[in-house]
Structure 1
Amino acid sequence: MELFHSTRSTASQVTSKQAIRKGIASDGGLFVTDSLGEKKVDIAGLTDLDYQGIARTVLGALLPDFTEEELADCVAGAYGEQWDDAAITPLKPLGDDFILELFHGPTSAFKDVALQILPRFMARTTASDADERIMILTATSGDTGKAALAGFADVPGTGITVFYPDGKVSEVQHLQMATQKGANVQVCAVRGNFDDAQSAVKSIFADGELAWDLENNAHTVLSSANSINVGRLVPQVVYYFAAYAQLLKRQEINAGDEVEFCVPTGNFGDILAGYYAQRLGLPVSKLIVASDKNNVLFDFLTTGTYDRNRPFFTTISPSMDILISSNLERMLYYFADGDTKLISGLMDSLATTGRYDVPADVLAKIRKTFGAGWADEDQVRAAIKDCWDRNHYVIDPHTACAYHTLATTPRTPGVPRVILSTASPYKFPRAVLEALGVEAPASDFACMDTLSQLSGTTAPAALRGLENAEVRFTDVIDVPDMTGYVRDTAMKMAE
């Protein structure tokens, strides 16, 4: 049986089901397996499979203690009628390159790919007590929150609490969360930025006194829907294979040809999934990290120094406004050849000083796989306009970071390049209109209508319908109050 353990210690070994249920390791590390890549995916056979078939194949290689029947049920439920494109993640030509649209799920963001299936994974994990409730606890920079809420709303045996940085998400993102229906959901704004909220959530997971209190008085255990949860991460591996399959079907490549991916990322989960795909046998030439003005990842991949001691910028790509990229820890574990002592030391340094330096030999290996670029606000806006002018195709500000990065990255002859498009432009209609040089109306919903008329596309009904949805959640708290908020919420849901 393939077992998982913390990035910081191999002392405790758990199954993938246990890792998914637990979310984060007891020592604060993230769950990894040393068996990653031992089982390869048959590249040549991808063309015979639809998205669901690719998902069953890839997830079977990553989550071995789920039966074929369990995975088939999870996949069927996650990737069905709630998607507005039968391909789930369709690949489209974009000039000389390609764009992988990851926003056709119920909340119009790439997080849906993982968060439609994570609750189904959770339902098939084994509880020590049949009456035990799982409380999903998540910090969001904008998109994870709504996708997690949509996935877990009214799922039996679960509750979900989402924290987001007050005033640092778009109007549409805020309304998506604040209007969420469901008897088991709670949403709260936090005074601070995403890193503040995410760090507090990690501390809450490590709070033994709180865990005892919740388990004994509310019959509740905490778990995560952030990409720190391996059950959130592995479904994202699937769409890299799906992109490759679509290139094969179009005869753009032959089986075994390499492909380059450019990925807008903040918490490093979306692009780490590409590295997992490479380990499973996908011919990945390069994984290019695209950052916004909060370019801590670019600096790290350039210098080997990770330093979050820098100004935090609130940008028009809010889901990438992150200075502590949690999933980088998993990547470092693999490139450090499983040296848990090194990883533990680096993370301790990050916690105490806000920075760390990786050994030169580790950085050299990382840079063979990962490239990096970033875009400032003017470059993001220029990328949105350039993409429209050249291709008559509208991209959101996060995707624009990748568009700019790819445009400024030297092309490897003969290697196709794929941009991962992480959100619908209708989630950020004001920023998009302004980038296109169009006067933006007063409300984001009028902006959606203007963008629809301009582009000849239709705003997703779930986004356009937010204008008249009832706002249910208005709480705003300080970071130190988050632990008490979680305790109180869990107790109320247990009543």
Structure 2
Amino acid sequence: MQYKSTRNSKLRLDASQVIAQGISTEGGLFVPESLPNVKIDLPRLSNLDYQGLAKEIFKLFLTDFTEEQINHCVKNAYEPEKFGGEPVKLVSLKGDLGSRHILELWHGPTCAFKDMALQVLPHFLTVSLSKSAEKKEAVILVATSGDTGKAALEGFRDVSGTRVLVFYPQAGVSPMQKRQMATQEGGNVGVCAIEGNFDDAQAAVKKIFTDSSIKEVLDKHGFMFSSANSINWGRLLPQIVYYFYAYFQICKADKLTVGNPINVAVPTGNFGNILAAYYAREMGLPIKKLICASNANKVLTDFINTGIYDRRREFYATSSPSMDILISSNLERLLYGLLGENSEVLSNWMEQLSREGHYKVGDDVREKVRELFFGGFCNDSATAQTIRNTWREDNYLADTHTAVALDVYRQYVESSGDSSTPTVVVSTASPYKFVGSVLSALETLESGEEFENILQLESITNTTAPAQLKALQHKPIRFDAVIKASQAAGYVLEALGIGE
């Protein structure tokens, strides 16, 4: 298995090279040259535990890794003590909306779904560097809307041969997310806030990645850039696994015959999580509809429904901040496949987006997108209502992002009439990471202090907050710098000790 760039179809690199590099030199994203079809193997795969399933899927894509190396990566990433058992948990809700299965992906160290990939990515990268750039130290640059940053910091903390530097929007993450990053331990980590929103932070990181003069300086001092964002194939690949796992668990729970379809509803910002579901579908997993759930920043909803991607709109800071994104980077990978891998046309669209803020796909691509995806959005008021209703009617406590997915799934059922297909609703974070918004949704007055809010939510719901979140109360703040996006490159060089 080799990989191409979305902006250079002639390129061919091994898995270790694309994981180490993160992004292609011309700014494109790496994609597999083909997707293996495992449809015939579904019955066999359905009997595996999570670690066994991960190994089987990774082997298909990491063909320059030995079996021993893959086993090492999986074992160290998905140790039961890190997740309290199997890494994911499926909670079934039965009601008027049909068979809904909440796929909880937040039982790892940072209480967010990014742990599913960022616990294994450091091991992928260590193996990759030993094959392709063993004498260089990897500098992991991360732009985060909240969860990726903490998960990357925790995953790469004190990993030999790596440094990890995280940028987040100053007013664009929850208080708990900010505290998680600001108190991060480790000798190889750095965190900095950016004035602006997530798109500003992401643009700054992409600019650094593609700046040849900065690369030369790093190379001179024995460093190389890599990424822990979902632009890195090593981040995206692990996310494919949990869709297969969820499907097999639903087959067992619903007595569904392997081969019958499910739907998948995903709260979506940067398009990586739902893209992993699309790749699983292309590999033979029976997914009927991919339900793309946005918050008030509904650029993806509008794109799915019109074929026009337009970021020239008001940006909203919402109660689901990890989705507060107007430039969904991973959409590029989907479009590359739907275009028949026409990198020239795709490059023109991406250049137009960068230059003018919008692009329009052709009718054929638009129809393919609408056939695969249902797009809907949910504002803060509807998010709060969904949290409240789900707690009262189903006795299930959802965070703000999960609530967006639940509401857009409701919209899908009302629009399509399809309430009979079992559906995975992806739950991306613990409700305690957004405790103020959840309390407010339950019509309980917030105290204004994050850790008092945690105690209050525990009391009124008889649920228990993750211990790792409660422990943050007594950890010292290590990182409080705030800079302009234009200063990000200077921050990186200074943090590495190679600035002028």
TM-score of the pair, normalised by structure 2: 0.96
SS in 2 for 1:180: coil
How many angstroms apart in 2 are the aligned matches of 1:446 and 1:215?
A: 48
1:335·1:365 contact (CA, 8 Å) conserved in 2? yes
Offset, 1:88: 1.1
How many angstroms apart in 1 are the aligned matches of 2:66 and 2:406?
A: 39
Trace 1:3-42 onto structure 2 (pairs within 5 A).
3-38=2-37, 42=41
How many angstroms apart in 2 are the aligned matches of 1:330 and 1:234?
A: 13
How many angstroms apart in 1 are the aligned matches of 2:473 and 2:446?
A: 17
Look up the match of 1:199.
203
How many angstroms apart in 2 are the aligned matches of 1:107 and 1:41?
A: 36
Look up the match of 2:422.
416
Alignment match of 2:446 (pick from 405, 417, 440): 440
Look up the match of 2:481.
475
Counterpart residue identity of residue 418, structure 1? V
How many angstroms apart in 2 are the aligned matches of 1:449 and 1:416?
A: 35
Please say which of residues 435-444 and 231-240 is displaced more in the overlay: 435-444
SS in 1 for 2:111: coil
Look up the match of 2:332.
329
How many angstroms apart in 1 are the aligned matches of 2:171 and 2:71?
A: 40
Offset, 1:144: 0.2
How many angstroms apart in 2 are the aligned matches of 1:358 and 1:384?
A: 36
2:262·2:286 contact (CA, 8 Å) conserved in 1? yes
2:46·2:245 contact (CA, 8 Å) conserved in 1? no
Look up the match of 1:87.
86
Look up the match of 2:407.
404
1:41·1:280 contact (CA, 8 Å) conserved in 2? no
1:102·1:110 contact (CA, 8 Å) conserved in 2? yes
Alignment match of 1:449 (pick from 415, 435, 455): 455
Trace 1:344-493 onto structure 2 (pairs within 5 A).
344-410=347-413, 411-412=417-418, 414-491=420-497
1:41·1:57 contact (CA, 8 Å) conserved in 2? no
Structure 1 residue 215 and structure 2 residue 219: aligned?
Answer: yes
How many angstroms apart in 1 are the aligned matches of 2:248 and 2:295?
A: 30
Task: Name stretches of at least 5 consecutive residues in structure 2 with no aligned partner.
Answer: none
Offset, 1:39: 5.6
How many angstroms apart in 2 are the aligned matches of 1:209 and 1:492?
A: 13
How many angstroms apart in 2 are the aligned matches of 1:105 and 1:455?
A: 22
Alignment match of 2:190 (pick from 159, 163, 186): 186
Counterpart residue identity of residue 150, structure 1? E
CA deviation map 1:88-112 (0-9, x unaligned)? 1111112331100000000000000
CA deviation map 1:221-264 (0-9, x unaligned)? 00100000000001000000010111122243101000000000
How many angstroms apart in 1 are the aligned matches of 2:2 and 2:340?
A: 17
What is the CA RMSD across the aligned residues, in angstroms? 1.3
2:401·2:428 contact (CA, 8 Å) conserved in 1? yes
Look up the match of 2:308.
305
SS in 2 for 1:125: helix
Counterpart residue identity of residue 249, structure 1? K
How many angstroms apart in 2 are the aligned matches of 1:188 and 1:332?
A: 32
Counterpart residue identity of residue 32, structure 1? V
Counterpart residue identity of residue 383, structure 1? T
Please say which of residues 417-426 and 35-44 is displaced more in the overlay: 35-44
Look up the match of 1:64.
63
Counterpart residue identity of residue 369, structure 2? I
Alignment match of 2:161 (pick from 153, 157, 160): 157
How many angstroms apart in 1 are the aligned matches of 2:28 and 2:350?
A: 9
Please say which of residues 353-362 and 125-134 is displaced more in the overlay: 125-134
Look up the match of 2:48.
49
Relative distance call for 1:483 and 1:323 in structure 2 (3 A) is same
CA deviation map 1:57-103 (0-9, x unaligned)? 11112222222211111111000144333221111112331100000
Alignment match of 2:119 (pick from 113, 116, 125): 116
2:141·2:227 contact (CA, 8 Å) conserved in 1? yes
1:317·1:397 contact (CA, 8 Å) conserved in 2? yes
How many angstroms apart in 1 are the aligned matches of 2:170 and 2:398?
A: 25
1:214·1:490 contact (CA, 8 Å) conserved in 2? no
Give % identity.
Answer: 46
Structure 1 residue 232 and structure 2 residue 235: aligned?
Answer: yes
How many angstroms apart in 2 are the aligned matches of 1:327 and 1:308?
A: 15
Relative distance call for 1:6 and 1:417 in structure 2 (3 A) is same
2:296·2:377 contact (CA, 8 Å) conserved in 1? yes
SS in 1 for 2:83: coil
Offset, 1:492: 6.0
Offset, 1:38: 4.7
1:40·1:61 contact (CA, 8 Å) conserved in 2? no
How many angstroms apart in 2 are the aligned matches of 1:262 and 1:428?
A: 20
How many angstroms apart in 2 are the aligned matches of 1:214 and 1:363?
A: 41
CA deviation map 1:329-366 (0-9, x unaligned)? 00001111111111111101101001000011011111
SS in 2 for 1:470: coil
Structure 1 residue 176 and structure 2 residue 175: aligned?
Answer: no
